[in-house]
Amino acid sequence: MLKSLALKNFTVFPSAHFEFSPGINAFIGENSTGKTHVLKIAYALNRAWSDLMNNRSALSTDRANAYFEERLIGLFLPGELSNLIRREASECRLTAQIGAFIPTLQFKMPDEADPWPTYPYGHAVEDLLWDLAIANNGINLKTIPEAAPVNAYVLNSIFIPSKEIVSLYDGLIGLFDRYKISLDATYRDLANAINSPELKNLPAWFSEVFADLENDLDGVLKLAQTKLVFEGKRGAITETPMMAEGHRKLALLMYLVRHDVLQRRGETLFWDEPEANLNPKLMAKLAQVLVALASKGIQINLATHSLFLLKELDLQLHIAAATKPVPAKFFALSDDGDGVQVNAGDGLEQIEPIVALDMEINQADRYNEWLYQAAEKSG
């Protein structure tokens, strides 16, 4: 789970610092303000430990250097790694603190309060620090968590990219293995995650979180050999390209929970433009589901252009506060001419500028002016 991220001369950021909430983290800004870049680098750093330690061998700087070089090229698809350095700088710096877990014996009294953030019971928390620089000669790791116990682990991280993947799933892993294709590594990671077995027993909270969405979709995604299909509640099978794109995205979210990719306290979801191809009704339901998932201890990190989705998230957070508050952070990214700056707050009302809000107000003013002029002309 992400705790903090600092960027220095990375792509469009001269200097930026993000303190992540264990609940909802929402990034908003105009095009080219680095929202996707933040998500991708945070994703890379958040899953680095689990990727590097999957065979429990000792962590070394050389092995970590090679890993980050391959991952960053795969995620950002630059012509060369130094293209990630901000113009006129000779080096960029990336620093992240990640919350890992260590199995340990713990006791909890029956009347003991459930603390926030809710880490898995029976686990101690270990902070992992990654500090790396990128220069013209490649990656130079300044700090790696080499002193962390080898049994420390970071729970699943999953990234849902802005382009939907459900209708492309069949054969996608094979394409990555055989060809050089213009899809970044988040698509392969997600395709690999989709290829997970379905749980026999769903989490106790599954119906509570997804009941309305299940009724709207009237079925679930299923993996039939190498193909994803949609199975209706009455057994009818629909090929995924025949589904509405917005429904495919929401069905995928349920699929990830049903297939044990995203359901544990401490796991992390990254989602780039979740509002794409969703109507306002489904966006409202998506906001409700995301806040509900965050209340179960899953960290949500999303980038959006949609003021409607942001307002719905903020509204659902206020509703949740009456029973079980869900922590949140909102980040507004804006280019002041000298690079992208970050303004952060615990609520939507605490951040500025929100260009989407300014444009909405401007549009309302222009529309009202047009109505006034039209009424005058009609006499």
Over residues 18-46, the mean pLDDT reads 94
How far is it, in rounded angstroms, from Cα 93 to Cα 73?
16
Over residues 21-48, the mean pLDDT reads 94
Using DSSP, state whether 220 is helix, strand or coil.
Answer: strand
- Arithmetic mean of pLDDT over the chain: 87
**H-only helix segments in 29-109:** 35-52, 61-76
Class of residue 147 by CB neighbours under 10 A (exposed 0-12, middle 13-18, buried 19+):
exposed
Tokens of 310: 């942001």
Q: Is residue 180's pLDDT more than 80?
A: no
Domains of the chain as residue ranges with CATH: 2-156+264-378 (3.40.50.300)
**According to the model, what pLDDT value does residue 108 have?**
61
Closest C-alpha to 299, from 36, 96, 119, 130: 119
Over residues 13-42, the mean pLDDT reads 94
Single-letter residue type at 214: E
Sequence-distant (6+) residues with CB within 8 A of 169 are 191, 194, 227, 228, 240
Using DSSP, state whether 158 is helix, strand or coil.
Answer: strand
pLDDT category at 336 given cuts 50, 70, 90 is confident
Q: List, for residues 251-265, the tens digit of each pLDDT value.
A: 999 999 999 999 988
Q: List, for residues 91-100, the tens digit of each pLDDT value.
A: 999 999 999 8
Percent with pLDDT over 70 in the chain: 90
Over residues 342-353, the mean pLDDT reads 84
Using DSSP, state whether 34 is helix, strand or coil.
Answer: coil
Distance of CA 336 to the CA centre of its chain: 26
Sequence-distant (6+) residues with CB within 8 A of 122 are 103, 104, 105, 106
pLDDT category at 271 given cuts 50, 70, 90 is very high
**According to the model, what pLDDT value does residue 112 have?**
63
**According to the model, what pLDDT value does residue 116 have?**
41
- Give 143's strand partners: 131
Contact criterion met (CB below 8 Å) for 350 and 48: no
Q: List, for residues 186-216, the tens digit of each pLDDT value.
A: 999 999 999 888 999 998 899 989 988 888 8
Q: Is residue 122's pLDDT more than 90?
A: no
Contacts 24+ apart (CB under 8 A), 101-108: 101/125, 101/126, 101/152, 101/153, 101/154, 101/155, 101/266, 102/126, 102/149, 102/151, 102/152, 102/153, 103/151
Class of residue 3 by CB neighbours under 10 A (exposed 0-12, middle 13-18, buried 19+):
buried
**According to the model, what pLDDT value does residue 214 have?**
85
Q: Is residue 363's pLDDT more than 80?
A: no
Lowest mean pLDDT among 1-15, 37-51, 274-288, 360-374: 360-374
Q: Is residue 132's pLDDT more than 90?
A: yes
Tokens of 154: 């970071």
Closest C-alpha to 44, from 84, 96, 8: 96
Q: Is residue 365's pLDDT more than 70?
A: no
How far is it, in rounded angstroms, from Cα 15 to Cα 271?
23
Q: Is residue 281's pLDDT more than 70?
A: yes
**According to the model, what pLDDT value does residue 56 have?**
65
**According to the model, what pLDDT value does residue 148 have?**
85
Over residues 135-152, the mean pLDDT reads 89
Over residues 100-128, the mean pLDDT reads 65
How far is it, in rounded angstroms, from Cα 129 to Cα 94?
11
